Structure 1
């Protein structure tokens, strides 16, 4: 396996760029260009040739988003009593026969390369190594063809986005903006921050109340949006909360145990103190509940009303250093990990 193939995982970092193979007199001049041109440095023993193309590692490089690490598929599901439950059955794609995949569509390695996974040569290596799935079936034949609009492709468990009509964005919502595309009262809304020419029928995934800031996904992928908001998938959400201090010990443990609200028991998955200054406390909480104003109501119940609330992360997607009031397109790897979080 080449160095490119070994590093060709969505979970890996940027590929190393080894020197190209050169050397040789007559053959080297024929391959390298005109006689007298500078020769490429000789490749040392043990070096491997660098694959040509747009990139040697799947989803690598800044243009494909951040390296989000391995896909996590072991997220526990819980029932109303707090116990684990089986995940909701996912719709199954109808397997296509090898004959169907060889008679119609586009070659698999070309679709992968066009989607930004890697160069076509590296994509061929990934297929031959059995690291590519089409509609849940491992494909190792280089002649296989797929339909980019309907077939589902995974590389090392990460979904490859091949439908060019689907759009995935992250909006860093400022305070005072209404979580709607249009507001009859004339208040600032999401569409005010979208550039002219944005896709039609783009809608927000979930909501943030007017005074809450932070991450709000935007997409035209209805299936992904439904799963991200459906409680059975329990996608974790991370919030940064500012309250008035000091905060005595035990509040975090109380939130983890759960507090009784008017609509039942609510608790956070984790609590972490981020900063504490005279008069203010900054903490981070993670929870999977999607109930209305759940974070504010929980902190009210323990005696610490929220002064400022920012949603920093949804599943594997985070704001990072994205400026408030801006909209950015998600990277290829971000989309793949977000889909993996809901079983797509």
Structure 2
């Protein structure tokens, strides 16, 4: 008798993994058509609207077999459901499928991590939203030392589009840099700079003010790569001393104080939706 035979004394049974259990449950529970509703909403949109992340991230939850509708594991991305009448669970946890959407603007101070917690014990944006009942996530991020406009929402689809390269939503920064600024800095930045992770360029560059040894410049770009503004400015010989994001698409920081959280105004939200074809 082979040792690979389950009846062999030397055979060790393997405990089924969670994925194995999901697969068996899916096979035993019947076809997805049992829960599919032709006039319903795509399941990944329901999950994103519930604040579980971008639509792409929610598609991964589905294909990994972590989502159940009325007790049936659903893996097909084309599945449509009725969130008003059907029970949707992710990892056995029932989700609220129709939360009230919130759209917030935070003026993030420097020395704050763009995360809801930090293993190193540093300040995080959680302290500014701890009184909010919604499950919020940040749209993109600002690095630890960068200040300024950060959007927060529970609208997964909007967040996904605002950070997707396809929509090229511009972000505007004011940077205090070590001067003087080289005459060709703007042209080089617009043409593109070779960085360690590829070529990057700005949409526009403008010198706002200059004093001996220091300058204030405005940079507009749509790239979301890590520390991209700091790396580009350093590459043209103007290291950043202070960096503030003043605009995210049509949304302006204006006179909002550091640490201040506010709801987007209706016309701001309409402009933001229009910018990403929603």
With normalisation by structure 2, the TM-score equals 0.63
1:179 and 2:118 aligned:
no
Instruction: Return the match for 2:139 from 205, 208, 211.
Output: 205
Greater than 2 Å deviation, 4+ residue runs: none
- Give SS of 2:152's match: strand
Choose from 263, 268, 274 the match for 1:329. 263
CA–CA distance in structure 1, aligned partners of residues 114 and 152 of structure 2? 11
2:274 is equivalent to residue 340 of structure 1: yes
SS in 1 for 2:101: coil
| Whole-angstrom CA distance in 2 between matches of 1:195 and 1:290 | 26
Paired with 1:276 and 1:164, the residues of 2 have a C-alpha distance of: 49
Gaps of 5+ in 1: 1-93, 95-148, 150-162
- Name the counterpart of 2:12: none
Q: What SS does structure 2 have at the residue aligned with 1:253?
A: helix
CA contact (8 A) 2:182 2:237 kept: no
Mark the runs of 5 or more structure 2 residues left unpaired by the alignment. 1-38, 40-83, 85-97
What is the CA–CA distance in structure 2 between the aligned matches of 1:219 and 1:325, rounded to whole Å? Answer: 17
Tell me whether 1:282 sits opposite 2:216 in the alignment: yes
**Aligned partner of 2:240 among 301, 306, 315:** 306
Distance in 1 (CA, whole Å) between partners of 2:105 and 2:133 is 14
* 1:229 has 2:163 as partner: yes
Give the Cα separation in 2 of the matches to 1:187 and 1:247: 34
Is residue 2:124 matched to residue 1:189? yes
Q: Tell me what 2:100 maps to.
A: 165
Figure out how many residues of one structure are paired with residues of the other and give that number: 183
Between the aligned partners of 1:292 and 1:253, the Cα distance in structure 2 is 22
Give the C-alpha shift of residue 164 in structure 1: 7.7
**How much has 1:185 moved relative to structure 2?**
2.4
**2:246 alignment partner, SS class:** strand
Q: What is the match of residue 128 of structure 1? A: none
